[in-house]
Amino acid sequence: MTRLEGLSDAELVRRCRTDDPAAWNELVERYSRYVYAIAVRGFRLGDEDAEDVFQDVFTRAFLRLETLRDDSAFRPWIAQLTRRRCLDFLAGSGREVLMEDPTTDEGSSDLDEVEDAFAVREALAGLSEACQEILDRFFAQDQSYRTISGELDIPTGTIASRIARCLSRLRDELEGRNEATDRSSE
Amino acid sequence: MRPRASEPATRGYLDLAGSHASKAGLDRSDGVRRLEKRSHIAFAQVVGHGGEKCTNAGTAVVDSSRLMPDDYLALRLDELLARVAADGRAPGSGSAAALTVAFAASLVSMVARCSQESWTDALGVVAQAKVISERVAELANTDGTAWEEALAALRDAEAGSSTDDRRDFSLEQKLERAAAVPLEIASLGADAAALAALTAERSDGTYRADAAAAAALAAGGARAAAHLVLVNLGVRSDDPRLARALASEQVANDIAARLLDSGR
């Protein structure tokens, strides 16, 4: 972990305002996949179009950072910038904008899924390295218990219980974040 | 005109953003995939819907206009069974093995969900069972396709010249794919059995018999799948793929035998 990875968004924004390029680097790193996911998953943009939106969003974010009123609200702010830019892009390209908030047949929004995914990603960062590793291997890399056991040198019979324990911790992290969000919005 | 990374005062920062754009480009697919998959960490299971009571969720309604021709998962059960029983075409034994393991994982999920009041980590098991069930159920479709392609290639080979190298290579590739799918099914069968073992150990006693039954189903699916690896590859007994399939079968069988014995 770099020295900046553990800093809050608010602290990074504050440092950006003092011309700290490393802080901006960290913000871009932290939100690059998020911005890209909104463009691709939420607005169905192709790779090249998403790349244009990506460049534009971060350019605007940098130039307008002074207008961000609440330093801790960087994430909703850049999400809004991205959504607006995607809509502008679709309108400018003459393509029909089907809906502002693309919704799947099941009734859940793709943008909500991106938000959920990002919340999980942030919560994962609050777990131990061991938990992050085992969850990543099982859920993201599709590894079997046997493979995980072999690569991490952990008895096969304990893999499922370790994953379950790590998921409980992840749930605690997420619930803690939700409570904090609820408090800040009151 | 939108600003580009050319204004002198901002070039350093924006170049940095640009370099990250390129970096994101390099691992973009993987990044988005992982984001999606991480949201799959049965987020709802862990945080939201996992807290549902242990009740029947009701009957799903299938929109038949959206079915893929070979999307077995969207068929009604009686239709699926009729397809399995029909002459010749997939789904065959590989798909049946996959669905058996999927049933096993779903049973594990039920047992864990019903034990969550006394078992703190129960929802973590529900999430794993859901993932195993989804992965192996998808393989039911994949196996059908792979099997049909292999059959077609075999027929082509029988009809054509045995000295056609390209045809032989294509046949070999298709047979290997037809074996790779049951190999994965066997592996997931072993995982489902391991999850059943944990669930039997930690769950409410009322449901332990269901956990043992889940292990038995997982073992059956793994055993059938391992057999298909052997047959589809036509390999020698020292082939590492066969060894892996047999190891998965062994793990699942041992667990099932232990759980079934302990309940008698």
Length of chain A: 186
Q: Are B219 and A124 in contact (CB under 8 A)?
A: no
Confidence category of residue B202, pLDDT binned at 50, 70, 90: very high
Shared-domain flag, residues A130 and A103: no
How high is the pLDDT of residue B38?
Answer: 44
Helix (H, G, I), strand (E, B) or coil at A103: strand
How high is the pLDDT of residue A98?
Answer: 54
How high is the pLDDT of residue B230?
Answer: 87
- Choosing from A76, A108, A140, the residue where a domain stops is A108
- ipTM for this model: 0.72
> Residue B135: closest CA among chain A residues belongs to which residue?
A142
Shared-domain flag, residues A72 and A9: yes
Confidence category of residue B210, pLDDT binned at 50, 70, 90: very high
Shared-domain flag, residues A5 and A86: yes
Alpha carbon of A161: minimum distance to chain B alpha carbons (Å)? 7
* Cα A77 to Cα A98: distance, rounded to the nearest angstrom: 23
**CATH code of the domain in which B98 resides:** 1.20.120.680
**Contact at CB, A59 and B120, closer than 8 angstroms:** no
Q: Is residue A53 part of a domain?
A: yes
Q: Which amino acid is at A54?
A: F
Shared-domain flag, residues A7 and A99: yes
How many structural domains compose chain B? 2
How high is the pLDDT of residue B91?
Answer: 87
Which residues span the domain enclosing A65? 1-108
Nearest C-alpha neighbor of A52 from the set B29, B16, B5: B5
DSSP conformational letter for A109: B
Q: Is residue B2 part of a domain?
A: no
Shared-domain flag, residues B205 and B251: yes
> Which residues are CB-contacts of A87 (< 8 A; sequence separation ≥ 6)?
A43, A97, A100
Mutate to test the interface with B, among A48, A55, A86, A141 (most CBs of B within 10 A): A55
* Cα A135 to Cα A166: distance, rounded to the nearest angstrom: 7
Lowest mean pLDDT among A66-70, A143-147, B163-167, B183-187: B163-167
| Enclosing H/E stretch for A186 | none
How many structural domains compose chain A? 2
Helix (H, G, I), strand (E, B) or coil at A117: helix
Which residues span the domain enclosing B13? 9-39
pLDDT per position as a tens digit, B135-144: 999 999 888 8
Q: Are B17 and A52 in contact (CB under 8 A)?
A: no
Q: Is residue A24 part of a domain?
A: yes
Q: Is residue A100 part of a domain?
A: yes
**Contact at CB, B127 and A167, closer than 8 angstroms:** yes
* Cα B221 to Cα B104: distance, rounded to the nearest angstrom: 9
